[in-house]
Structure 1
Amino acid sequence: MPFNSKIMLFIALSLLTISINSASASASERSEKIIQAGQIRVCIWPDYFAISYRNPRTGQLEGIDIDMAHELADSMGVGLQFVESSFSKLVSNLKNDACDIAMHGVGIRDSRKPFMEFSQPYLASGIYAVGTKDNTGISRWEDIDRTGVVVVVQKGTYMEPVVKQTFKYASVSVVDSFKAREQEVLSGRADVFMTDYPYGKRMAALTQWAVLMAPKKPLAKTYYAYAVPKGEIDWLKEVDDFLKAMKKSNKLYQSAVRNGLSEIVVTD
């Protein structure tokens, strides 16, 4: 082989080695573990309508984050394992490595930032009210803030201080669980409860009694993201790149439309 050809071959092989090493170095430790295991573990909250919801009629999981979890697994060439979680278990599940990522509409809140990393947002919802159709005195948001009206909010949510500050005349009742909100309204002890758009939409779609009310201007708009374990910046970048691809391909928006969330999807 001529000397010049040997040099060119050496350069080509060197560049290929550098390229392979760079590609290997760019993969996060988390994604390497996922690929080695052959599956990605995704934490979900199965009661979150249109987000990560287990349909009681079919027993199947559905929602925008179920769609995106499948897309993420496919993009990595691995299987998918859903880990049932909740917002109360979110921090511990990420800290204790129960899952690789939480995909259930996790609100970006300062109080959560010490415990997890947030992806770029993909949904944004303000606070909505859910009342009853037979309560003719309260059929729109503007009817709520009056003396004698009782508003229910869940304890420990970001909505609690906002609601207390927003309503000057209505009484605010604080309950411990999200289901207790509904019970208070159904029993007549309260007139409306506060929630976000996906859960409010669930109530309006799946019950005969609920009506969804929105303020004229968004109240306490919150961005929703995916969450990964604290400090895993390389893995976070890969998740952000995945989300960017889902937005660019229009798959995120298409899923939002299928699940009735086009009103709150973030596509930029």
Structure 2
Amino acid sequence: MRTSSRRIAPIVLLAFAMTGLLGAPARADGEARLLAPSGRLRVGIYPGSPTSMVTDAAGKPHGLAYDLGGELARRLGVGIDYVRFQRVADIVTAIHDGQVDFTVTNATPARANEVSFSQPVLAIELGYLVPANSQIGRIEDIDRPGVKIGVTKGSTSERTLPTKFRSATIVPAESVKVAIAMFGRGEIDLYATNKPTLFEMSDQMPGAKILDGNWGAEHMAIAIPKGREDALPLLNRFVTDEQSSGALDTIQQQAGLRGASKATRE
């Protein structure tokens, strides 16, 4: 019996060692199944904003949500599907409904009721864009009767700005692309959203200007469906790795993302 016990002991230790070795991949596989239950990571994007997806001169797509989604899918060892929408509010709804697995968006309290967020990825200023030859030269000139402020329908701007202005009128636009056309038809006098998007718009509007100052900041974070919170530690490590390695800086440069600053954890 003593000989048998001595022989069994190493076998038991080996079994525990194998369990430890196999545990890490098992957890990783579990997180992959949790974040991408279909076996492919469905990333929600909308065109026109470097925080989501834009294309460079060669037609290659870049963007915060686009590139971070691609990198996460690679780390998880799963395929990726990019699902396009007109605006970010539609993506948030799709994540809430389980039709999309991942995006990057402003982590507002209202959206936190619909989706779950990682730690902040980066912070970006909110501002105003005016067209060439605009009579509005300062933020202080905005709140006047007859001034029409364009915002993206369903956005944080649409919910927030009515409380800031008593005289100016808020005018929702279906998308950033539509908003640029609205400027040409005189339907809006300025546009309010995050500065990376405003810079992108100004590149398509000769003489347009972003007003000095800001009216707040967005705290961009990864959004996933409710019920997948067990994957948040992995997502937070992923965000920290992207920030510390310099990969996030590269993503911003490739997307032409301007007006961003380092995120801080609250």
TM-score (norm 2): 0.80
Aligned CA RMSD, in angstroms, stands at: 3.2
The aligned counterpart of 1:241 is: 237
Higher mean C-alpha deviation, range 202-211 or range 178-187 = 178-187
Within-5 A mapping of 1:190-205: 190-205=188-203
Q: Does 1:175 align with 2:176?
A: no
Identity %: 24
Asked if the contact 1:100–1:228 (Cα under 8 Å) also holds between the matched residues in 2, the reply is yes
Counterpart position of 2:114: 115
Change (3 A) 1:28 1:230: farther
Question: 2:129 maps to which residue?
Answer: 130
1:233–1:207 CA distance, 2 compared to 1 (3 A): same
Relative to structure 1, the CA distance from residue 212 to residue 31 in structure 2 (aligned partners, 3 Å threshold; closer, same or farther) is same
Instruction: After TM superposition, list the pairs within 5 Å mapping 1:1-268 onto structure 2.
Output: 6=7, 9-20=10-21, 22-23=23-24, 26-27=27-28, 29=30, 31-32=32-33, 39-45=40-46, 47-55=47-55, 58-85=58-85, 86-101=87-102, 103=103, 105-135=104-134, 137-146=135-144, 149-168=147-166, 170-178=167-175, 179-215=177-213, 218-261=214-257, 263-268=259-264
CA distance in 2, matches of 1:256, 1:67: 10
Following superposition, the deviation at residue 4 of structure 1 comes to 9.2
What are the ranges of 5 or more consecutive residues in structure 1 without an aligned counterpart? none
Q: How many residue pairs get matched?
A: 260
Change (3 A) 1:91 1:52: closer
* TM-aligned CA deviation for residue 152 of structure 1: 3.1
* One-letter identity of the residue aligned with 1:263: G
Q: Quote how far apart the aligned CAs of 1:203 are.
A: 0.9
Cα offset, 1:37, TM superposition: 6.1
Where does the alignment leave 5 or more consecutive residues of structure 2 unmatched?
none
SS in structure 1 at match of 2:149: strand
Are the equivalent residues in 1 in contact too, given 2:54–2:255 (CA < 8 A)? no
